Amino acid sequence: MYKKKKKKLVRWLATAMSLSIMLSVVDPVGATSVSDLEKQKQEIEEKKKEADAKKKEEQQRYNNASGKANAIQSDVDEVAEEIEEIDAALVETIASVEMIEEEIEEKEEQIEVTKADLEDAKRVEREQYEAMKLRIQFMYEKGNSSYLELLLASESMADMLNKTEYVEKLYEYDRQLLAQYQAAREAVEALQEKLEEEMAELEAQQHELMEEKESLEIILNEKKATYDNFEAQLAKARQEAAIYKANIKRQNDEIKKLEAQAANKQSEIEEAKRAEEEARRAQELALQREAEERERREKEASGGSSSDSSDKSSSSGDSSSSSDKSSGKEYASASSYSGSGSKGQQIANYACQYIGNPYVPGGTSLTEGADCSGFVWRVYKDFGYSLPRTSYSLRSSGTGVSYSEAQPGDIMCYAGHVGIYIGNGQIVHASTQRSGIKITPATYKEILAVRRIL
């Protein structure tokens, strides 16, 4: 009996030693356990979350900088157009000034000629007047005797009448000639006065044009300064956008690196789990064989018979799968609005279904995000209309109407912004990154133009 107990004790000791050896194989000294690997993976996942958060921050900054650059670009385009208009007006004014100066030179020459003619007319008038006075003075100084002698010297009555008539004609001739010279002088004086008046008008026009030229030059210099300032702001905004874009690239590289590390760590975890599972199965198999061997020996030692018995256990786990079906907001197509009022009302109704969707600088998606001009462009595109892509170009599209004549579907144009009029003094537009697509009173800021496309 003692020997049997001793044999059992030896067998149990052998089993314990085998179990200890297998455990040392499963978890050797210095090996990393599955829990440690999962902890390392969790740390990698936390770093990846931080990198994702930083990437989102940089993306937001990039979007803001891009939006700012687009807005400044709109201002630059607008100021450039104003500079062209002012420059054209300045060129026209300078040309007008030059023409006025040429006309002034011509008038000055005409005035000089007229002054010379006037002096000649005055001189001839004075000479004729002096000659007439001498003749009249001579006749009257001779007195009646001379006149009588002239008559008595006549050979006949007819001769005397002829001489009398001659004296009267001579006087009448002098008087008429003097009157003609006086009329000529008066005509020349009138012409001189007219030329001087025209000269005064030209000088006044020249003064006004010079003032206009100076004013346009001041405005042009101011616009050029504004343009240079916008250019500097635009360069700064683009530089900031480039920096944020580079930061986003670095964050993407970091995220990819962490994702690769997480994937490698997951492979290590799965490999460690397989190794543990194989070791557990080997351990179970060794214990089962040890138990069978022990029972066989006990049976041989006792000489009895026993039937082999083994408990088999199987486990099955029910697996269930579920799928979350998420459905986003559904939107009606543009064609489904046909027949619901005028074409402009259809466009307004169609645009309003996207209220609440995001504002994305440079975007043209009605669902994923669009900027102001991208929103208008896409809405009209869905109805088959081809419009310019920028808010500045939309200001010259279609036909201009007054705000009092505005109808649903008309495009409301502001400084660097556009929206679609929906009636009742309201517009729907992609407002800002903070508010997205929304409805706003049409007069929330100064309206520059109302354009009708339909």
Residue 303 amino acid letter: G
Question: Considering only 106-120, 165-179, 237-251, which range has the smallest mean pLDDT?
Answer: 165-179
pLDDT by residue (tens digit) across 17-28?
555 544 444 444
- H and E: helices and strands count for the chain: 6, 8
The answer to whether the CB of 393 falls within 8 A of the CB of 380 is no
**What crossing angle do the helices spanning 343-352 and 372-382 adopt, rounded to 10°?**
130
Residue 421 has pLDDT above 90, yes or no: yes
The answer to whether the CB of 362 falls within 8 A of the CB of 66 is yes
d(CA 432, CA 411): 18
Residue 207 among the catalytic residues? no
The sign one gets for the Cα dihedral 261, 262, 263, 267 is positive
pLDDT score for 429 = 96
Question: Considering only 8-22, 242-256, 273-287, which range has the smallest mean pLDDT?
Answer: 8-22
Residue 205 has pLDDT above 80, yes or no: no
pLDDT by residue (tens digit) across 292-341?
787 788 778 876 444 443 333 333 333 333 333 333 688 999 888 877 78
The token pair that represents 225 in the structure block:
């300064």
pLDDT score for 309 = 39
Highest averaged pLDDT of the listed ranges 40-44, 147-151, 349-353 = 349-353
Query: Higher confidence at residue 3 or residue 382?
Result: 382
The answer to whether the CB of 372 falls within 8 A of the CB of 391 is yes
d(CA 109, CA 396): 49
pLDDT by residue (tens digit) across 6-49?
555 545 555 555 555 444 444 444 456 788 888 888 888 888 88
Query: Higher confidence at residue 414 or residue 54?
Result: 414
Residue 429 among the catalytic residues? yes
Residue 413 among the catalytic residues? no
How much is the average pLDDT of 69-81? 84
Residue 407 has pLDDT above 70, yes or no: yes
d(CA 291, CA 300): 14
Residue 397 has pLDDT above 90, yes or no: yes
- Name residues whose C-beta falls within 8 Å of residue 55's C-beta, 6 or more positions apart in sequence: 248, 251, 252, 255
CA angle 265, 271, 276 (to 5 degrees): 125
Residue 202 has pLDDT above 80, yes or no: no
The answer to whether the CB of 71 falls within 8 A of the CB of 416 is yes
Residue 418 has pLDDT above 80, yes or no: yes
Burial 369-394 (b: 16+ CB within 10 A, else e): bbbbbbbbbbbbebbeeebeebbbeb
d(CA 417, CA 386): 19
Nearest 10 degrees: CA dihedral of 205, 211, 212, 215? 180
Q: What is the mean pLDDT of the chain?
A: 78
Confidence of residue 239 (pLDDT cuts 50, 70, 90): confident
**Which ranges of 364-436 does DSSP label H, i.e. alpha helix?**
372-382, 391-394
d(CA 443, CA 408): 15
Burial 92-106 (b: 16+ CB within 10 A, else e): ebeebbeebeebbee
Spatial CA neighbour of 420 closest among 404, 440, 400: 440
d(CA 290, CA 72): 84
Query: Higher confidence at residue 418 or residue 108?
Result: 418
Residue 161 has pLDDT above 70, yes or no: no
How much is the average pLDDT of 65-75? 84
What does each C-alpha distance from 450 to 13, 104, 296, 397, 416 come to in angstroms? 98, 45, 102, 10, 14
| Catalytic-role residue among 207, 352, 413, 417 | 417
pLDDT by residue (tens digit) across 166-189?
666 766 777 777 777 778 778 778
Q: Could you tell me what percent of the chain has a pLDDT over 90?
A: 22
pLDDT score for 141 = 56
Residue 285 has pLDDT above 90, yes or no: no
How much is the average pLDDT of 346-366? 95
